[in-house]
Each structure stands twice: as C-alpha cells, then as structure tokens.
Amino acid sequence: MRKLMFALLGLLLAPVILAAPALDKLTLPKGFHIAVYSDAVPNAREMALGAKGTVFVGSNDAGKVYALTDSKGDGHADKVRVIASGLQLPVGVAFKNGDLYISAVSKILVLRDIENHLDNPPSPEVVFDKFPTDTHHGWKFIAFGPDNKLYVPIGAPCNICDKGQAYAKLTRMNADGSGLEDVAYGIRNTVGFTWRPGSGQLWFTDNGRDMMGDDMPSDELNKLSHVGEHFGFPYCHQGDTLDPEFGQGKNCKDYTPPVLKLGAHVASLGLRFYEGKQFPASYKGALFIAEHGSWNRSKKSGYRVMTVRLNGDKVASYEPLIEGFQQDEKAWGRPVDVQPLPDGSLLVSDDLAGAVYRVTYEKP
C-alpha cells in the first residue's frame, strides 16, 4: 500500500511533459498553412501585440506572462521570456502606449515601457484592485477600445445565478484605473471582444450556461449598439430560450439577441477582425473566432477556429478556418485566442498544447 501511495505521489509531482503539437492532424482551406510560432508557452491564453512586434501572451500557468520575439523575421519566435510571474490567473493582456496591462482576477496590473525592458522587466504596478475576487469565471480577457478605455468583463460567479448588476457584465475604465463604469449587462462570461474597423462597434463572444443538455443553449456572437444594453443572462439564453429557473415571468424580447448562435458548449473565446492583405480578399473584414471546445458534452463540440463573414451587420457565412484539434473524442489542442500580425498572417494560441501557431497563405 505504501509503495502504491508513493507511486501515485510520484505521478502527481512529476513534471508535465506536453506532447508536440500534432499539426499534421489539422485541416485548413486550400492555400493556408499552419506552423509552430512557439511551443514553449504553457497554458497560452490571450495575446497582445507590442509596438515593436513583441507578442505578449497571458496564461494560467504559475501566474506567468510571456513575451515572444521573432528577431530573425522568419515566422518563428526565437526567444521566449517570462516577464511576470506569481500573479493570480494573468490570462488577459493589453498593450497601450508602450505599457502592458495584465488582468489578475481582482486586479489590473501594468508593466511600464515593457518592450525596452524585456530582459529586465519592471515590477507590476497596480492600476485597479477592486474587482470581485471570485475565480469562477474570474479570469479576464481585456482590451483597449477606440475610446482609449480599458474594457474589463466581470463574469457570473456561477454556472447560473442572478447577482443583479454586480456580475455578468462588461465594464471600462481609463488607463490610470479611474472612471470605472458599466458598459453592458446580461453577459454570462465574455472571454473575447474586439472592435470592428470603420464603425468602431464592439463585438464579443459569450459562453452559454451548462447543464441544459448537449445542444442547449448556444454560445453567442454579439454586438453592442448602446451603453447599458442587456443581453439576457440569466433570464434568456441564445436570444430565444427562457431559463428554466430564472426565466419565470421574463420575455426574451426584452433582451438583445445574438447576431449568431455559435453552437452549444463550443466555448467561444478570443476573436479579431481580419484587415490584412495576405489572405484571399474574401477574408477581408471577416471575424476569426477561437473555439476552445466543450468539457461536459457527450460528444465534443468546438476545438476549432472559425471564420464569420459579414454582410453589413448580418452574418453571411460561418465556416471553419482550422479543424482537427480533436479526433475520436480525444483532444490534443484547444484554441484560445487569435491575433493578426502586420504581415497579414494570423497567430492562434493553444493552452492545452502550450503553443502559439502562425497561419499563413500562399496562392495554390
């Protein structure tokens, strides 16, 4: 019995060795190629691009934030630095005026002038420290909007609950942490938002609740039309389905429906509009969405990167860009975020494989 206990303890304490990304299992449209940008980023989550080309990556690995540099310009990060550690779930990163902002559950931190100090990073400064301390949906995707404000979500601290306007919302603040205000409500947990070039309108993903079966409710792609808009949670899901507990006496018509139902339990996370010139013209202005994949569905869904093409504010198509992160109900990768680069290629982070990939296009 003691031998068994020690053997189990040894397994628990043994270092986790990540399998090499199985890129040969991935499928992309004709002419597209995918390669490893870096496979040394454990639990890679949100990405942000620095002014000098540094790719910053948040994670939920030992509280670390990474900086990736491609000094040779060959499409591979030849240096991976840890620029912060010991933080609480620093999943979100946002770059502004030379500074890197980091989410850490209840706090927003900043690393000043970071690209000039990658080898000797400064200590994080606290910008704001009054967000809820709940870790259930407590890690945060963050981004600066065209109004120069930092947008920060506060996810519901539950699968399904009604906490009024204290949770399940999107907020924004000035870069110095002042002026916190609510932007939108009824958002269970957004782990991805971005602004459409030209209109400056905010678009975001939202994860649907669990425990309503394999096919209900759908994750959502939403757009914000005005400050104070309510997107339904916890009363109405996917724009047309009242919650069995909290929907009593409510009407889905009182809430903003999604632009697109993305599918149940796909775990839609990071998204970005594509404005590059490397991909075919049909991708200009399209949205790329990372779908992390289901955890409690009898048959897996998600585990892919999707393309949403728009005609005005209407969805024209919804189709895969990358598939194959799981085969036969076994996943080796889970996409988290997408980040276009200035050369028109696209980075994709994968927290399961601990990697960042680069997608390129060459005309066949």
pLDDT by residue for the chain (364 residues), tens only, comes to 433 333 333 333 333 344 568 899 999 999 999 999 999 999 999 999 999 999 999 998 779 999 999 999 999 999 999 999 999 999 999 999 999 999 999 999 999 999 999 999 999 999 999 999 999 999 999 999 999 999 999 999 999 999 999 999 999 999 999 999 999 999 999 999 999 999 999 999 999 999 888 889 999 999 999 999 999 999 999 999 999 999 999 999 999 999 999 999 999 999 999 999 999 999 999 999 999 999 888 888 899 999 999 999 999 999 999 999 998 899 999 999 999 999 999 999 999 999 999 999 999 9
Q: What is the CATH number of the domain that holds 259?
A: 2.120.10.30
CA distances from 231 to 154, 155, 255, 271 (A): 14, 13, 5, 18
Q: Domain for residue 148, yes or no?
A: yes
* Spatial contact of 207 and 222, defined as CB atoms under 8 Å apart: no
Q: Can you say whether the dihedral through the CA atoms of 235, 240, 242, 247 is positive or negative?
A: positive
Work out the number of other CB atoms within 10 angstroms of the CB of residue 242: 16
Q: Domain for residue 3, yes or no?
A: no
Q: Domain for residue 63, yes or no?
A: yes
Question: How many angstroms separate the CA atoms of 319 and 151, rounded?
Answer: 28
pLDDT on residue 5: 35
98 phi/psi in degrees, rounded to 5? 85, -10
For residue 311, what are the domain limits?
A: 35-361
Q: Domain for residue 2, yes or no?
A: no
Q: Domain for residue 7, yes or no?
A: no
Q: Domain for residue 14, yes or no?
A: no
Q: Domain for residue 9, yes or no?
A: no
Q: Which two structure tokens, joined as six digits, stand for 25?
A: 């299992």
pLDDT on residue 198: 94
Question: How many angstroms separate the CA atoms of 245 and 258, rounded?
Answer: 21
H-helix or E-strand containing 2?
A: helix 2-13
Per the listing, tokens 């299992």 go with 25
Helices (H) and strands (E) in the chain, counts: 1, 29
The tally of CA atoms less than 13 A away on the side-chain side of residue 163 is: 17
Q: Domain for residue 21, yes or no?
A: no
Q: Which amino acid is at 360?
A: T
pLDDT on residue 20: 61
What sections of 217-284 are H helices per DSSP?
none
Question: How many angstroms separate the CA atoms of 181 and 184, rounded?
Answer: 10
Give the number of domains in the chain.
1
Per DSSP, 19 falls in state P
pLDDT on residue 22: 84
Mapped onto helix, strand or coil, the DSSP state of residue 218 is strand
